[in-house]
Structure 1
Amino acid sequence: MSESLSNVVYLSIFVIASAVTVFKFLALRRDPTPTLALTAVMFLTASPVYVLASPAGYRAVGETLDQPSFATLPVSLGILACFAYTHIITFLMDQKLREDPGALRRVVAKWTAAYVTAALLMVALFSSADLSDPADPLKFNTHYADDPLVLAFLAVFLATFGCGTLNTFWRCRRLTPEDPRLQHSLKVFGVAMWFVFGYIVLNVPAIALAAFGNHSLDTVALWGNVTGVTGFLSMCYGLSGSAVGHWLRERRDITALRPLWDLVVGGIDEELAFSVRSARSTLLTSNVTFNLHRRVIEILDGMRALRAWVAPGAAEAVYAVHARRQSEDPDQPPSLSEADLAAAATATALRDAVDRLHAARRQRALEGRPGHPHPPAAAGRLPGEDTPAGAERDRLLRVAGALREPLVQAALQALRNDRAAIAATPH
């Protein structure tokens, strides 16, 4: 990669890593676990590493400190720290190790000691080397390979980095979590380790030849940066992709349920809501999982409050309209599944119940009577009241999506026409 392209790539990764860092720390605030804490710290560490690794950042640090290649040290230590964190995360995800806290502490302490020892050696070797040549941000490894102290520095770095990366890959292959999302994350994470290891595979021969004055493989070493970047981006997806996807789905579902919440909670009795203001909030920092669960519970409470106002036959009107349409065109295959029909029937019954309740409230207000109106003696049914708790979210999403469907509008109009006809009939 050229220096200009490297600047764009590395600074773009900085933006991505920073965004993931914010996401992880917000998640950590809601769910403070060691694994999530290490993940958040890993991304927090990675963000400045990619700024320093960019040629622009690299040269800026060198000019500020009057040490052209100084940025290599914090970048190398930062990379080692990032992958040390990810390595330890795989231990924390191991169910067998978690069942034996003593064994977990010992293995974590062993690898932590190895990483800390390597970091101290790297600092000592780097500080003792003569690095007065003009900075070459992308070719430090091969440019200084003929310096024994720098060669030892690189040997310690790449050996520790390589052992940790391979062990992390091996542990990812061994772990078999029950959660399919976690399985997918570990699979991607393992693939990322191979890309990261590609950085080592491409750099070692180039450094070895450069140590003897042969720079024919310097370009190969540059391709190691490409595999390293690919590995880090894959790791970002492995550690955050499923979580971000889950978060986005929950936010999407909260938004999709909003019309149903407005109908049966906001438009009926806001006291059913835990907090009307937060229920209508779209802040990215809100606890999405909690808000989604709360929204489902509040909608169900609102539906129970409306049950007494559900008219007999309101839900059945949907099935009647649908059957009539099918009979008019028998060759047409059914356009709605049973679940969708039940959702449309529930939406019709709820919209009709809200209309009846509002009409009773208006009548009571016109008559100057205080208090709440009394529901009719006879009440209809709401389809899906026996739905298991785990399936309620999907059912309510279907109901929310059906509120403005043409079938529901037609069923409501049929109910109004029937009532008008009954009202016009002389008694």
Structure 2
Amino acid sequence: MSDLPFDVGYLVIGSAAWVVAALKIRAWRREPSRGLLVVALAIASPATAFLMAAPVLYGLIDRATGVGNLATLLVYLAITGFSAAAVVLALIWTPPAERAGVVVWDAAPAATWRRARRRLAVFAVLGPTMAGLFLLGGPYRPETPLTFDTTYATTPATALFLALYQGLFAFALLDIGRVCLGHAARLPTGWLRRGIRLIAFGARTACGYVLCKIVAIGATAAGVAGLDWLSTGLGPVFAAVGAVLITAGFAGPAGAAFLRRRRDYRALRPLWDLVYRADRRLALEAPASRRTERLAVRDLEWRTARRGLEIRDGQLTLRPWVDPAVLAAADGVADRAGLDAAERAALTVAVALRSAVAALAAGAPPRAREDQAVLPGLDAAPAEERAHLVRVARRLHGPLTGEALADAAGVTR
């Protein structure tokens, strides 16, 4: 059997998973939390296992240490690390009975973390036990990166090592799969729900790997020949597909959030440009070029939040130049267009800001405080504020805004 497909497949999967793990670790360092750290370890552990399982690296490890097939122990311990992380995730993602029906629950309580520590203590004991059984069953010659399980399954200590590994892995996969399906059922439609379901489906798919391995190892131990292909062929396929689904499940919601932040950051640019032209003191720095903004990928949450704050400051600065007649014209256009409350508010603010900038540029005097109109959206909750400003930005140069400005100009002439 050629090693090339396994080298390519394992290295690609392991590298891609480590990219996701690195992003989770970066997020954990910026906002430390035990839950996020567990997620990062749940991705990094199997990612490392796939890299070490690639025959090219498997051989390098054995030659560097001088211990035959040592990479198998390291791979299986890394997968056991995933099992431990998955068991902890299953605990912290299961809401207490009194909150079983809620969509989003608080961080796991102290009692849950105490249970998690007890389970981790079990893994802390079983990990060294697996290592001891592996070493007891050796030495392992020749090097068998793809056929270790069926080659040495007749050795009692090695067979027990393999059974312990597969049992822990199966328990973790079934546990996290069960919890994720229940978790997803409580979530609204969206990327988070899709991601949780992908983790569940990935865990169930990876159970095929465990089943194939158990049948192949059992057959070898019983002296039945001809089933090695389950361990060396079909089993790795289940493992690879399961790993891809689980990694995608962890990465999907984060990727969608990144794209949403980037979309919002760029969508706010026209609105930010408008208030910046009205008062350049509002911004901490001059606007970046369009090309630079298109390539922006770092600190998008901070940049978007700052942009929103500067727009809010600009809105307050322009408020004395907002003409009530413009607001009335915006209401009339919104009525004719049948806009809902959110879009009506966005149209009103877009029309008000454009007219205020024009009035300021024309040298119109500001209105007294008691005569200033109150624009919608100023009291929006933080979670809604950004969405409101994005809607305003998209309405800024739209046809309804132009229609409202034209109607207002006709009234004031």
Q: Which TM-score band (shorter chain)?
A: 0.7 to 0.9
**Structure 2 residue corresponding to 1:155, chosen from 163, 169, 174:** 163
Unpaired stretches in structure 1, ≥5 consecutive residues? 327-333, 361-372, 423-427
Instruction: Assess, with a 3 A threshold, how the Cα gap between structure 1 residues 29 and 268 changes in structure 2: closer, same or farther.
Output: farther
Amino acid at match of 1:207: I
Aligned-pair distance for 1:67? 4.3
Instruction: Assess, with a 3 A threshold, how the Cα gap between structure 1 residues 31 and 375 changes in structure 2: closer, same or farther.
Output: same
Structure 2 CA distance for aligned equivalents of residues 100 and 310 of structure 1: 50
Amino acid at match of 1:132: R
Does the CA-based 8 Å contact 1:261-1:295 persist in structure 2? yes
**Structure 2 residue corresponding to 1:210, chosen from 220, 232, 236:** 220
Structure 1 CA distance for aligned equivalents of residues 69 and 287 of structure 2: 51
2:358 matches 1:347: no
Report what 1:165 is aligned to: 173
Q: Computing the radius of gyration over CA atoms, which structure comes out larger, 1 or 2?
A: 1
Report what 1:92 is aligned to: 92
TM-score using structure 1 length: 0.78
Does the CA-based 8 Å contact 1:118-1:160 persist in structure 2? no
Report what 1:384 is aligned to: 376
TM-score using structure 2 length: 0.81
| Other structure's SS at 1:384 match | coil
Structure 1 CA distance for aligned equivalents of residues 164 and 367 of structure 2: 81
Aligned-pair distance for 1:56? 2.2
| Other structure's SS at 1:71 match | helix
**Structure 2 residue corresponding to 1:146, chosen from 119, 137, 154:** 154
Aligned-pair distance for 1:312? 4.1
Instruction: Assess, with a 3 A threshold, how the Cα gap between structure 1 residues 392 and 112 changes in structure 2: closer, same or farther.
Output: closer
Unpaired stretches in structure 2, ≥5 consecutive residues? 98-106
Instruction: Assess, with a 3 A threshold, how the Cα gap between structure 1 residues 242 and 121 changes in structure 2: closer, same or farther.
Output: same
| Other structure's SS at 2:218 match | helix
Instruction: Assess, with a 3 A threshold, how the Cα gap between structure 1 residues 408 and 174 changes in structure 2: closer, same or farther.
Output: closer
Report what 2:52 is aligned to: 52
Report what 2:320 is aligned to: 308
Structure 2 CA distance for aligned equivalents of residues 156 and 385 of structure 1: 59
**Structure 2 residue corresponding to 1:269, chosen from 237, 256, 279:** 279
Q: CA RMSD in A?
A: 3.5
Amino acid at match of 2:376: G
Instruction: Assess, with a 3 A threshold, how the Cα gap between structure 1 residues 101 and 278 changes in structure 2: closer, same or farther.
Output: farther
Does the CA-based 8 Å contact 2:91-2:112 persist in structure 1? no
Instruction: Assess, with a 3 A threshold, how the Cα gap between structure 1 residues 234 and 409 changes in structure 2: closer, same or farther.
Output: same
Report what 1:255 is aligned to: 266
Structure 2 CA distance for aligned equivalents of residues 410 and 353 of structure 1: 16
Report what 1:286 is aligned to: 299
Q: Percent identity?
A: 29
**Structure 1 residue corresponding to 2:244, chosen from 226, 233, 236:** 233
Report Cα offsets for 1:260-291 as digits up to 9, x if no partner.
12212x22334434x43799977534161x54
| Other structure's SS at 2:278 match | coil
Aligned residues: 394
2:366 matches 1:375: yes
Aligned-pair distance for 1:68? 5.0
Structure 1 CA distance for aligned equivalents of residues 406 and 108 of structure 2: 62
